[in-house]
Chains A and B, each alone.
Chain A
Amino acid sequence: MVPVEFYFVLACVMFMLGLFGALFRRNLIMVLMSIELMLNAVNLVFVAAGRATGNVDGQVMVLFVITVAACEAAVGLAMVIALFRKYGTINTDILRLLRG
């Protein structure tokens, strides 16, 4: 069988790529998609670790993560649409009210 570390390294690479996208992309939708990538990396760790330690709790956790991801995507995209209607852009350099 493939050693469980390999899965963790793969998940780590995915997570870092997602984090890079979430931090450096200027398009809000791209930020949301990068977050989905990060969530998937976490899912991979859950499944691989659950398989290695011999229980299904990891898989159950993945189901919850997917549920939360679906909710996050729905609400996040609704907010993107609302922001676009209000400001006509979804560039995070322009939408910086929270930064003062």
Chain B
Amino acid sequence: MPDFSLLLTHGIFHILAALITVVSIFVVASKHPVKSAVFLVIDLFLLAAVYASLDSHFVAAIQVLVYAGAILVLFLFVIMLLNLQPEQLRGLKFSVIESGTLLISLIGLLIMIFTSFRGVQTGLGDGTLDVQAIEAAGGNTYVVAIKLLTSYIWPFELASILILLSIVAAIVIAKKDKKVLTSSPSGQS
């Protein structure tokens, strides 16, 4: 009896990977910010599907819930609020510094891939975290939660303080300053 799950996971991964690549290109290359934002939403959704195929259901759900449901809505709001016009991509300047940065990081990433992961097992699923082990331990959410609230309790608490700080910071920064308001260029909307 052939193992259908093998065929299925391979097929699903390759389709998803191709889609993610294409959509990511659209995200970066779209002229209009709203288009980019919508493609980014689709991208995040597809990534969540990849996480789900890696048996990380909790992270997949959180990915869609927080990223697609909250962060990207924020982006969309700001784009609509500022009513930005499409960018003139023809005037794209390739400066030496930026191109050099891109090239160096590309080379660095390639080196990183081909060296540091050589020792890692190429096949998935031979670790302790296969599906049966997760099920036996009480499910993916349970395992992640236990890890998060024991080993990573201090980063977890710090993250909550970080969120509080960023709420306050965002409000303070974005609040309308009376002096700036009077001198700001009117009729921008």
Question: A residues bordering B, Cβ < 8 Å?
Answer: 1-10, 12-21, 23-27, 29-30, 32-34, 36-37, 40, 43-44, 47-57, 59-60, 62-64, 66-75, 77-82, 84-86, 88, 90, 93
Residues of B within 8 A of A (CB): 6, 9-10, 13, 17, 20-21, 24-25, 27-28, 33, 36-37, 40, 43-44, 47, 50-51, 54-56, 58-59, 62-63, 66-67, 70-71, 74-75, 78-79, 81-82, 84, 87, 91-94, 98, 101-102, 105-106, 109-110, 113, 117, 120-130, 143-144, 147-148, 151-152, 155, 159, 162-163, 165-167, 169-171, 173-174, 176-177, 180-181, 184-185, 188
Nearest Cβ on chain B to A91's Cβ, whole angstroms: 8
Contact among B13, B43, B47, B74 for A74, CB-based, below 8 A: B74
Contact A2 B143 (CB under 8 A): no
B59 pairs with A47, CB closer than 8 A? yes
A-B contact pairs, 23 of them (CB 8 A): A1-B123, A4-B123, A10-B17, A10-B21, A10-B50, A23-B102, A33-B36, A34-B28, A48-B54, A51-B56, A51-B124, A56-B129, A59-B144, A63-B59, A66-B63, A66-B67, A69-B67, A71-B165, A77-B170, A77-B174, A81-B174, A84-B188, A85-B181
Contact B47 A40 (CB under 8 A): yes
Report Cα–Cα, A78/B166, bound state, in Å: 10
- Is there contact, CB below 8 Å, between B120 and A59? no
Chain A residues with CB under 8 Å of B125's CB are 1
Residue in B closest to A58 when the chains form the complex, CB atoms: B56
A4 and B43 within 8 A (CB)? no
**B120 contacts A49, CB within 8 Å?**
yes
- Do A60 and B170 touch across chains, with their CB atoms under 8 A apart? no
Given contacts A7-B50, A54-B130, 13 further A-B contacts (CB under 8 A): A2-B10, A17-B24, A17-B25, A24-B92, A26-B87, A27-B84, A47-B59, A51-B129, A60-B152, A63-B144, A72-B166, A73-B71, A82-B173
- Whether the Cβ atoms of A57 and B113 lie closer than 8 Å is no
How close is A89's CB to chain B, nearest CB, in angstroms?
Answer: 9
> From DSSP, what is the main secondary structure of chain A's interface residues?
helix
Task: Quote the shortest CB–CB distance from B101 to chain A (angstroms).
Answer: 6
Contacts of B33 in A (CB 8 A): 27, 29-30, 33
